[in-house]
Amino acid sequence: MVENNYCITGKGITKKFKNSVALNEISFQIKHNELFGFIGADGAGKTTLFRIIISLMLADSGELKVNGFDPVKEYRQIRNIVGYMPGKFSLYQDLSIEENLNFFATIFETTLEENYSLIKNIYFQIEPFKNRRAGNLSGGMKQKLALCCALIHKPKILILDEPTTGVDPVSRKEFWEILGQLKKEGLTIIVSTPYMDEAALCDRISFMDKGKILTVDTPSELINKFNKKIFAVKTKQQFKAINDLKKYKFSESVNLFGEYAHLITNSNFQMRDEIKEIEKFLIENKHSEIDVKPINPTIEDCFMELAENE
């Protein structure tokens, strides 16, 4: 492992809580100036890993380097170069926007005025409300304030734990545009998210499930490697269709995606012939208004397939 090529390296990281294993010997490498995503459901281990990276928690075993620093012996250096935005809004609710920013700047022995250029593209959107208490802000404004506080000390690494959960779609889109701009400015950005559309915006992503890393790759390569047939299926009785399709003799997996079920099959049929087979099967199971069509896989299909195989 040539650590100079990487911003963060982890090898065999393990963390247990009583009878549960939060992280199970995971290994990963994150490049400098990369937008890297950890993707997984609640309980996958993302937050635990982030807390270990920023030295708020100790791993039970394994090796970890953050920009060359050891999180145990050199945690002060790590905290000076990392900006962290936790999943839950954790700023001071009774302080105003400006007071929160000044407080965090003071902790790092700087000032809002000195580093205003670092946050001005984000802060100008909330600056008109700088005297408003943080507890009275909307979800999108809280998100921008938290990001400004994470950036005020000019970090080299930005770590964001599910930053858009509970935020409206417009604010989510704006937030990812901001991340794209920060990456252009040279930051290494590590983000966790349960949203697969956000995963597609990362340079590389790591799928996590039950404390394990299932795979690490670019979004496009993950989709390119998906070499199974997949169909979108809808009938008048959709939930019955999902249960019935699990009994289809060539069915490998069935999952609900919006108004359609995604059916992965393992037959040797040509697409056109398999559509007829699926339609025939559904008619035999007394379904009507049947719609079956082949589709290209999504990142979510890739994740579901990996998780089920695991």
pLDDT digit string, tens, across residues 104-156: 999 998 988 888 888 988 898 899 999 999 999 988 889 899 999 999 999 99
Q: By residue range, what is the domain housing residue 22? A: 3-223
Residue 101 and residue 139 in one domain:
yes
- Residue 119, domain CATH: 3.40.50.300
- Reading the block at residue 154, the tokens are 């000019």
Choose the final residue of a domain: 223, 249, 266: 223
Residue 79 and residue 181 in one domain:
yes
Residue 219 and residue 244 in one domain:
no
pLDDT recorded at residue 2: 40
Residue 148 and residue 7 in one domain:
yes
- Reading the block at residue 76, the tokens are 């002060």
Residue 196 and residue 235 in one domain:
no
pLDDT surpasses 80 at 310: no
Residue 156 and residue 180 in one domain:
yes
Residue 215 and residue 106 in one domain:
yes
Choose the final residue of a domain: 223, 253, 283: 223
C-alpha to C-alpha distance for 95 and 103, rounded to whole angstroms: 9
pLDDT recorded at residue 97: 94
36 contacts: CB under 8 Å, gap ≥ 6: 30, 188, 189, 190, 191, 202, 203, 204, 205, 206
C-alpha to C-alpha distance for 47 and 182, rounded to whole angstroms: 22
Choose the final residue of a domain: 204, 223, 242: 223
In the block, tokens 């007071």 appear at: 99
Name the domain count of the chain.
Answer: 2
Do 261 and 233 meet the contact criterion of CB atoms below 8 Å apart? yes
Residue 234 and residue 170 in one domain:
no
Q: Write down the mean pLDDT value for the chain.
A: 92
pLDDT digits (tens, 9 = 90+) for 92-105: 999 999 999 999 99
Residue 17, strand partner residues: 20
C-alpha to C-alpha distance for 65 and 75, rounded to whole angstroms: 11
In the block, tokens 């290994």 appear at: 27
3-state secondary structure of 292: strand
- Residue 288, domain CATH: 3.30.70.100
Residue 124 and residue 214 in one domain:
yes
Residue 208 and residue 241 in one domain:
no
**Percent of the chain predicted with pLDDT > 70:** 98
Residue 194 buriedness (CB in 10 A; 0-12 / 13-18 / 19+): middle
C-alpha to C-alpha distance for 205 and 200, rounded to whole angstroms: 8
pLDDT digits (tens, 9 = 90+) for 38-55: 998 888 999 999 999 999
pLDDT recorded at residue 41: 85
Mean of the pLDDT values across residues 25-31?
Answer: 96
Residue 153 and residue 272 in one domain:
no
